[in-house]
Structure 1
């Protein structure tokens, strides 16, 4: 049984050129490899976000339910959220 499946995709011209350029530069052997790598990176990011939601966000929610008086003002909470998302983005690079 075949372990791959052929797909036909349509990309914006800029993305298609990027894929072709990565192959032409020798970074990847084929266009399929570029797309597979992009999908792996997407999956890693989704896994990181899911882990963060299940651990840090869930724990914070539970702590808030236990003692709402310790809640942060919305501006401070937003700053922390943005900092965490920046951290996740840097981890991906």
Structure 2
């Protein structure tokens, strides 16, 4: 079993009450279990956000490396001209 370290945490009274009710309801055996699961979820979310951010940065790099861009006004003007309805 990994080393265990004892920590003291401070939280708003409302959160402490939710934690106590969760343990009292039998969903978890202890407040420590609740906090450990919350931290595991936080780590997973943080890792997902980091991966998403890196994917976005890679997409931006790919776009920048693909060559010069075309001004949006020019693109839309060309599209309007191409698909203009002839009356």
Question: TM-score scaled to structure 1, two decimals?
Answer: 0.65
Q: How does 1:6-85 map to 2 (within 5 A)?
A: 6-54=6-54, 56-66=55-65, 67=67, 69=69
> Aligned pair in 2 of structure 1 residues 63, 70: CA closer, same or farther (>3 Å)?
farther
Q: CA RMSD in A?
A: 2.2
**1:16 & 1:53 partners in 2: Cα distance?**
33
**Tell me, what secondary structure is at the counterpart of 2:69?**
helix
**Tell me, what secondary structure is at the counterpart of 1:44?**
helix
> Whose helix fraction is larger, Structure 1's or Structure 2's?
1
**1:70 & 1:38 partners in 2: Cα distance?**
47
> Aligned pair in 2 of structure 1 residues 70, 35: CA closer, same or farther (>3 Å)?
farther
Spell out, residue by residue over 1:34-80, the C-alpha distance to the aligned partner (whole angstroms, 9 max, x if none).
Answer: 000000000000010111112x21222112212453799xxxxxxxx
Displacement of 1:14 = 0.7
Question: TM-score scaled to structure 2, two decimals?
Answer: 0.69
Aligned residue-pair number: 70
